[in-house]
Amino acid sequence: MRDHRSLAFIAVFAQNEPFERSQVVGCYVAPQAPSLEIGLNEIRVIELEQRKLNYEPQPSKTSYVLNVRPALQLKPTANGQYTFEQVRGIGYFWSLLPEDGVNRNRIRHPDEYSGRFEIHASDGKRLVYVRQTTSRLCE
């Protein structure tokens, strides 16, 4: 006779701490990509078209992300640079990052945010944007 045992699994979901917009404000740069100025209300892409994006910092299943709208994707150009182009969809999620080597590129609490986030370009390249403290690239 088979022994039938039931196991109960209980998942405890802790409420995620709110991620304040003020924590991501600043000028961000990534190699070969347009600079981004993140303000309290929008993201401004520093390129000829001066596009503006809406965003919301929010928790995801494993970390925190910037929920960015509309859907603009980084695409490579013939000169080796990247530019944002409109694509289908409502938006993208940009992963907020901890300090290099901490938590395998995930933050579990807003205090772990290092001033870096990543965007995956259409060619699969991972571009890491880093907040600048002395840069004039966002003016």
Question: For residue 58, what are its two tokens?
Answer: 């929010």
Per-residue pLDDT at 8 exceeds 50: no
Amino acid letter, residue 117:
F
Identify the pLDDT of residue 5.
45
Write down the pLDDT at residue 83.
93
Residue 54's nearest CA partner among 65, 34, 40 is 40
pLDDT-based confidence at residue 137 (cuts at 50, 70, 90): confident
Structure tokens at 39: 């303000």
Give the model's pLDDT for residue 139.
75
CB under 8 Å to 50, separation ≥6 — which residues? Answer: 44
Domain boundaries, the chain: 21-132
Task: Write the pLDDT tens digit of every residue in 26-82.
Answer: 999 999 999 999 999 999 999 877 889 999 999 988 889 999 999 889 999 999 999
**116 token code pair:** 């870096």
How much is the pLDDT for 73?
A: 92
Task: Tell me what pLDDT residue 15 has.
Answer: 59
CA distances in angstroms from 73 to 5, 61, 108, listed in the order given: 50, 22, 26
Q: 33: exposed, middle or buried (C-beta count within 10 Å: 0-12, 13-18, 19+)?
A: buried
